[in-house]
């Protein structure tokens, strides 16, 4: 999990896999069992949850 970043006020569910260079900006919610591949940016202006 090289260079992964989880910023302030993020909620990461159970059994989540974050790959290399995944970036979660503040206030991002990731649902249970989600898999985020390499170099995926999730910014806080998004209103929908990331789910598996």
Q: What does residue 25 show for φ and ψ, rounded to 5 degrees?
A: -75, 175
For residue 15, what pLDDT is reported? 96
For residue 13, what pLDDT is reported? 93
Would residue 8 show up in a list of annotated catalytic residues for this protein? yes
Residue ranges per domain, the chain?
Answer: 5-42
Active-site residue (options: 5, 8, 32, 38): 8
Alpha helices in the chain (DSSP H): none
In tens digits, what is the pLDDT along the chain, a chain of 52 residues?
Answer: 688 889 888 999 999 999 898 888 888 889 999 999 888 888 776 555 555 5
For residue 1, what pLDDT is reported? 67
Q: Which bin fits 45, alpha (ψ -120 to 50), beta or left (φ > 0)?
A: alpha
For residue 49, what pLDDT is reported? 58
Active-site residue (options: 5, 9, 37, 38): 9
Query: What would you measure as the largest C-alpha separation in the chain, in angstroms?
Result: 27
Active-site residue (options: 5, 13, 14, 26): 26
Would residue 26 show up in a list of annotated catalytic residues for this protein? yes
């Amino acid at each position: 999990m090289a260079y992964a970043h989880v910023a302030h006020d993020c909620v990461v569910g159970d059994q989540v896999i974050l790959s290399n260079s995944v970036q979660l900006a503040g206030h991002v919610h990731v649902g249970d069992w989600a898999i985020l591949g390499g170099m995926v940016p999730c910014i806080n202006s998004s209103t929908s949850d990331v789910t598996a």
